[in-house]
Amino acid sequence: MIRAVFLASLVAFPAPPQVNPEDIARPSVVPVTVTWHGWVRDKQTGEVFGGAKGYEATTRCAGAVINPAGYVVTTSSCVHSGPEGGTAALVERAMADLAKMGRIGDPAKARRMLTERAVAEGAAPDRPIDRVITVGDDTASVVDLVAPADGDIAVLRIPRSGLPSVEIRDDRPPAVITSGGVVIDEEGRLVGLVGRDGAIAEARLARGLLRDVKPELGAHDRNYRVGLSRYHAGNYDSAIDYFDAVVAESPANTHAAEFRAKAAAKGGSPGDATSLQTLLIYVFGGVTLIAGGLGVWLLRRRAGSAPPVPPQPDPSP
């Protein structure tokens, strides 16, 4: 139960401690790995590079879960098979072979020429190159994408649910934070992803690629955010309750378990613990206090009582 006692009429309370936006977004960030297999053919000369087995190349990039049901946003240049994606990766392998054979004088000129004249293909001419996408340990499929030149955004799907997710911001804020290949705002919302050329691919474009679902947070995501706020406010008992709810509904959120351990190390305990906190009241210089001087805000949680706002159950299967 929360009790607030005000003994003064002109008081100013300090704002709650700022939650690190990276802590908010980090659970949703996932590694995307793409393995390409194919051959490179010079369309002008007909020469095929790759030998009997072809080339295998791997590209890695960042992704972020935008819906707990397994929807992940990443850059389309990461998963696209065209010149900005898989073809470029295989062309680099062909370049390495040509360099070993001493057939390259000016690497930049050779790369430009091969890119213009070459095509990457599968085991037969004009057959697509093979592509395997994984998000973490899960094989992913492409829901839809915007080509690299048109926005560089793709939405993937993995067969998992209850994943920690991030909220998408629909405009470009004046200040952004780049962390682990994703770009977030000061509230931990996803602004975009860093493309291969360093440009920011706008995450909001993912909304147009989803048909029957939309980017959204799960109940466990909201519980995680409340838990962070309680932790940074020093209410470790309540924080543990929220983090326990998160771990139960979203085991993939290992950061919730880490913050729970930190809260316990600071003396927090779940459920029936009693905590007493006294918050200092700051008064602006020159303001004359009336009606008795200083005000005191007393927060007290009795043994056996539930958190002020109970952790929300997750309705997703």
Q: Which domain holds residue 54?
A: 29-209
Taking only the tens place, the pLDDT of each residue in 219-235 is: 999 999 999 999 999 99
Determine if residue 240 is left, alpha or beta; phi over 0 gives left, psi from -120 to 50 gives alpha, anything else beta: alpha
Tell me which amino acid residue 281 is: I
What is the mean predicted confidence (pLDDT) over 134-148? 97
Residue 19 resides in a domain: no
Residue 20 resides in a domain: no
Cα angle, residue 190 at apex, residues 257 and 73 outer, rounded to 5° = 90
Residue 194 resides in a domain: yes
Q: What is the mean pLDDT of the chain?
A: 83
Residue 84 is part of a domain; what is its CATH number?
Answer: 2.40.10
Look at 14-18, 109-113, 248-252 and tell me which has the smallest mean pLDDT: 14-18
Residue 86 contacts residue 129 (beta carbons within 8 Å): yes
Position 275 scores a pLDDT of 40
Residue 81 resides in a domain: yes
Tell me which amino acid residue 6 is: F
Written as six digits, the tokens of 54 are 């072809």
Q: How far is CA 2 from CA 15, 243, 297, 302, in A?
A: 18, 20, 10, 10
Residue 118 resides in a domain: yes
HEC string of the chain equals CECCECCCCCCECCCCCCCCHHHHHHHHEEEEEEEEEEEEEECCCCCEECCCCCEEEEEEEEEEEEECCCEEEECHHHHCCCCCCHHHHHHHHHHHHHHHCCCCCCHHHHHHHHHHHEEEECCCCCCCCEEEEEECCEEEEEEEEECHHHCCEEEEECCCCCCCCCCECCCCCCCCEEECCEEECCCCCEEEEECCCCCEEEHHHHHHHCCCCCCCCCHHHHHHHHHHHHHHCCCHHHHHHHHHHHHHHCCCCHHHHHHHHHHHHCCCCCCCCCEEEEECCECCCCCCCCCCCCCEEEEEECCCCCCCCCCCCCCCC
Residue 146 resides in a domain: yes
Q: How far apart are CA 204 and CA 122, in angstroms?
A: 33
Residue 192 resides in a domain: yes
Q: How far apart are CA 241 and CA 231, in angstroms?
A: 11
Taking only the tens place, the pLDDT of each residue in 92-108 is: 999 999 998 888 888 88
What is the mean predicted confidence (pLDDT) over 32-45? 95
Q: How many domains does the chain have?
A: 1
Residue 244: pLDDT above 90?
yes
Residue 23 resides in a domain: no
Taking only the tens place, the pLDDT of each residue in 265-301 is: 999 999 853 343 322 222 233 333 333 333 333 333 3
